[in-house]
Amino acid sequence: MTVVYVDTIFALNGILDYLLLLSTARLAAVPFQRLRLAAGAFLGACYAVLVFLPGVRFFCHPVFRMLWMLLMTVTAYGLRRGILRLVVLFLALSCVLAGILIMVSLCCSVSLTYPRGIPVTRLDWKALLLAGAVCYWLSSSVLKRLVPRDGYELIPVMLRWGPRQVGLTVLADSGNLLTDPGGSGSVLVAEWQTVAPLLPPEPQITKEDVSDPVQGMSRIGCEWGRGRLHLLPYRGVGTAQGMLLAVRVDSAVLDKQVIHRQLVALSPEPLSDGGYQGIIGISHIKSGGRI
């Protein structure tokens, strides 16, 4: 018979789940909010306690485990495109951390068992923090560097306008040469629906405004403030000359770099299958932008 302590199980699994959710976000290069990660970790800690309650053996069923894991990831990152990819990545990192935790526990002579699939230990904080640190380092440094880039990389970006902010994943592409005519930095091209929650509610932007930039410029004009809305000419494959509706936000945080008055061009169509929601020139990231 295995004797477990609710407080120990809750604390141990809560910390491990938070580290796993943080590692998943770092490895997948998705924007995240620490409070949401903490909420997802809280659900994981609650599940670790629930499986030991009498009369609830169905919680241990693999289907229920997967559904709970999906609930944790949706809570941590929101219901977004590519959420199943994050679930699979979270599951893979869970397996990695389990192996690391066993290794560290053996090296530190700490008792570790897995009754009902839940790690139970004496909560040796040194062993726990070491295992979590190794997993985080592997996901954010080693494993991330093993992903082939081919001239691009994915970075998390946070756009801000007044009290509003939105997060998105951006492809830093060496082939994107679109630059800000009013400055020296690159233009961030983003899916308009992703940026829409950041924009003023009145007048509300529509897909027609983005699809027909001249009409959108004429309808909205200076309603959002002078110098906010722009028409941006561009050239691309299959497009000799085109126009994009662009908006100048208060700031953008690109991979911990704060860029003030970033120009964001709005794309009327999705830029990927869910892996990223924006594109920016990679030289802009390397040079640090206009900080």
**Packing angle between helix 62-77 and helix 83-107, nearest 10 degrees?**
110
Which pLDDT tens digit goes with each residue over 163-188? 999 988 888 876 667 777 766 578 88
pTM (predicted TM-score): 0.55
Q: How confident is the model at residue 159 (pLDDT cuts 50, 70, 90)?
A: very high
Q: How confident is the model at residue 161 (pLDDT cuts 50, 70, 90)?
A: very high
Q: Is the preceding peptide bond at 203 cis, omega within 30 degrees of 0?
A: yes
CA angle 72, 73, 75 (to 5 degrees): 65
pLDDT of residue 249: 93
CA distance 28 to 174: 20
pLDDT of residue 151: 47
pLDDT of residue 123: 45
Which pLDDT tens digit goes with each residue over 80-103? 767 888 888 888 888 777 777 666
Q: Please give the average per-residue pLDDT across 247-259, as a whole number.
A: 86
Strands 263-267 and 239-248, by their bridges, are antiparallel
Which pLDDT tens digit goes with each residue over 4-20? 566 667 877 788 788 88
Phi first, then psi: what are they for 78, rounded to 5°? 90, 160
Residue 122 tokens, joined: 């004496």
User: Residue 288 contacts by C-beta under 8 Å, 6 or more apart in sequence?
Assistant: 257
pLDDT of residue 130: 66
Q: Burial of 201 by CB count in 10 Å (0-12 exposed, 13-18 middle, 19+ buried)?
A: exposed
Q: Where are the domains of the chain?
A: 6-146, 152-287
CA distance 137 to 132: 9
Is 193 a residue whose pLDDT tops 60? yes
pLDDT of residue 154: 76
Is 268 a residue whose pLDDT tops 50? yes
Which pLDDT tens digit goes with each residue over 231-251? 888 776 545 467 889 999 999
